Amino acid sequence: MLAIGVLMYRKRKAGAEDYFLMSRDIPWWLLSMTTMGTMISTFTFLGGVGLGYSLGTSMFFIALSNCWIGIYMITLGHRMWILGKKYGYVSLGEIIRDRFDNSKFLEIFFGCSSCLWQIAYLAMMYVGCSYAISTITGGLISYKLALLLIVVTTSIYTVVGGMRAVVITDAIQWVLVVITLVAAIVIIAGIGVPGAGVVQGFRTIATTAPQVLGKVMANKVWIEMFIFISVGFFFGPAIWTRMLAARDERAIAWTAANVTFFHPFFMGFVCFLIGIAAWAIYGPKFPRPDNLLPTIMKGYFPWWLGTVIMAGAVAAAKSVISACMLSLSQLITRDIVEPIYGKLTPRGSDHVSYVALVCLGIVSVVIGWLPPASIIIKSVEFSNTGLAMIAPITIAALYWRRATTAGAIAGFVGGTILAAVMRFSGYQTPWLTGPIWAFIANAVLIVVVSLLTARTSEPTVEKINGYLDAEIYGNEMKLEPGRQ
């Protein structure tokens, strides 16, 4: 991976567009692999298996929800891609800024809130990956040493190679993940362990805890998770960045199709069935479900098989870590530093990105050093709640000509703060959970305040919405800077 980083460094051109988006030239097969590498993560291998074991059939909200990410890609992602190609946008925050009267406040708030939510996700990847290495080596590599090793290696190849290195390493790591699938079948089938296997797991549950194979989760929590998992995933900077980096529409469509197929397949079949198979081995009392997969590997299977599966899990985590780190440094450079200090030169942009990546590595070590228990599930809940709050403002910016800056600020800022309060307080009503009310308040505020305030100037709206209409529907634009 480090060698790839160095190799890609030699191919790099100066400037943010190449460093962060590989010059917007990622072909369909590579974009599909890197996006899948970014989505199949520690959460899938450790958290997903843990959820299959502890929640049983109720974990299906993840698989059923993630089917829809492909639809967001061909609608919202496609519009971002069109605007990125035309105006050179490197971040979604820049699109939001330009659509809403060049509002630097909105851009900086977007950058800061995305960073804050995404850091929780990044820390979870580090923690999960370090636990996996530590468990499978039987403590030979301690948790803290594993954490340091991962932070150092991923930081080096991400800093040196930028998006080029991340994309290539993602693709290699994705191949490892797919190989892992074959090994996972061994666990599901229970080969080599007497009395194990998924059918035996199902029988154990049916006789000892049949409710695990029903929908035990409260319906309002199910609805919240269903909405926030897919929306939060798409609005994670590591995913929408890939939409801006696509070479063409074919790349977007194929990536959407691969995500639609593979992610639900992993969560709804592979992880779920491994979680069920664990019932045949451990019964209902495994203390730390997040650590189930490495424990099964270490306790019941030959070392080489354990190594193959955990190499897949570590590969998945590392590809997400590098993608998250790069997208976070992109947010810091483009949506926080540039709006405050002004446009950077290509070399200056590179230097700020390097510093941001090193700082992120240090912050991750600090967060990961003493992690709370079951961080994997909790951090996904936290991170996806906040990232989902970006959806209403983005939809308003890309689809609704009447949306105004005041409406965008009221909805986005109000909704994000409310979501944080609701998430931490655990507030719920009989029908819906607090974070879902925050999501609704976010959308309603954008609509109501926009309708109550003066329209955004025509040239501003035409630059974004007019150009999108022209490209998608073939309409003539009224006004568009630089176009006759």
* Minimum CB distance to another protein, residue 467 (Å): 12
C-alpha closest to that of 170 among 281, 36, 270:
36
Check binding of 157 to another protein (CB under 8 A).
no
Q: Is 275 exposed, middle or buried (0-12, 13-18, 19+ CB in 10 A)?
A: buried
Q: Is 426 exposed, middle or buried (0-12, 13-18, 19+ CB in 10 A)?
A: exposed
Check binding of 149 to another protein (CB under 8 A).
no
Check binding of 232 to another protein (CB under 8 A).
no
- Dist. CA 388–CA 27, nearest whole Å: 28
**Axis crossing angle, helix 375-388 with helix 390-399, rounded to the nearest 10:** 30
* Minimum CB distance to another protein, residue 198 (Å): 9
Check binding of 476 to another protein (CB under 8 A).
yes
* Minimum CB distance to another protein, residue 57 (Å): 5
Check binding of 61 to another protein (CB under 8 A).
yes
Check binding of 72 to another protein (CB under 8 A).
no
* Minimum CB distance to another protein, residue 341 (Å): 38
Closest CB to another protein among residues 345, 475: 475
Span interacting with another protein, options 32-40, 146-154, 207-215, 428-436, rule CB under 8 A = 207-215
Span interacting with another protein, options 4-12, 30-38, 205-213, 405-413, rule CB under 8 A = 205-213
Task: Give the x-and-dash track for 252-281 against another protein (CB under 8 A).
Answer: -x--xx--xx--x---x-------------
Closest CB to another protein among residues 39, 356: 39
Check binding of 437 to another protein (CB under 8 A).
no
Name which of residues 74 to 103 contact another protein (CB under 8 A): 74
Check binding of 282 to another protein (CB under 8 A).
no
Check binding of 202 to another protein (CB under 8 A).
yes
Name which of residues 209 to 228 contact another protein (CB under 8 A): 210, 213-216, 219, 222-223, 226
Site residues for another protein per CB under 8 A: 57, 60-61, 63-64, 67-68, 70-71, 73-74, 199, 202-203, 206, 210, 213-216, 219, 222-223, 226, 249-250, 253, 256-257, 260-261, 264, 268, 469, 472-476, 478
